[in-house]
Structure 1
Amino acid sequence: TCAAQERVINALLDSDPAYAARVTFINVDWDTYANDPLTLRLNIPRRSTLVVLRGEAELGRIVAGTSRDAIKALMDTALAAAVA
């Protein structure tokens, strides 16, 4: 699932440079940070969880989803927040 998400995200980054220019992406290793206070506070349930934050506010989330449309919608949410 993680690899499929990564392929979709990379394709979207390639298709629209605004994502990379305006949105900060952070890849967190679940095996290392599963019990980290931030992971617990955000209630990250498992690997393959994508979360969009603006400050402390959660704007969207996908858990184990690999749909291009869903991931694009999440990235569009992040981009809209970044340029607002």
Structure 2
Amino acid sequence: MHRRLFLAASLSLALIPMNAQAANFVDYTPGVIEAALAEGKTVFVDYSATWCGTCKRQERVINALRAADPSYDAAMTFVKVDWDTYKADDVTVFRGIPRRSTLIVLRGEDELGRVVAGTSEAQIKALMDAGLSAPQG
């Protein structure tokens, strides 16, 4: 009995940092990306769906990278676009987003990089590093 309680408590404590980190995504509403770009910020956009396994894997990788290197949070605004709500909206159509599990980094008028359905740490880190190296305004 005590072992179950210990395991449950350990599991819940292990999940706290990941959930706290996930809260650092701004939920997309119309205009939020444009406002951040207008302020001179670099924006990391995650087009995802709650039911998408690939999206969940990407989020775990992103959260691990952000936890390991706080400079990502200092350099970029992280925005999560709900695919089910916005797949036919301008935020998706204008940028030619082909599907959920698409990640992009934006700076000013430029798209600095894109990952479509990729889940490798190296691929996602390279995209996030593109946001780090973008000149700040």
Common topology (TM > 0.5): yes
- Structure 1 residue 52: Cα displacement: 0.6
Identical-pair percentage = 63
The equivalent of 1:57 in structure 2 is 110
TM-score (norm 1): 0.94
Which residues in structure 2 correspond to 1:5-84 (within 5 Å)? Answer: 5-83=58-136
Matches of 1:59 and 1:82, distance apart in 2 = 11
**Residues 3-59 of structure 1 deviation map (CA, whole Å, 9 limit, x = unaligned):** 000000000000000001111110000000001112111000110000011012111
- The structure richer in strand per residue is 2
RMSD: 1.2
Structure 2: 5+ residue runs without aligned partners? 1-53
8 Å CA contact retained: 1:54, 1:81? yes
Quick one: higher RCO (CA 8 Å, sep 6+), 1 or 2?
1
Cα distance in 1 for partners of 2:79, 2:86 equals 13
Q: Which runs of 5+ in 1 are unaligned?
A: none
Question: After the TM superposition, which segments of 4 or more aligned residues of structure 1 sit over 2 Å from their partners?
Answer: none
SS at match of 2:63: helix
Larger radius of gyration: 2
SS at match of 2:133: helix
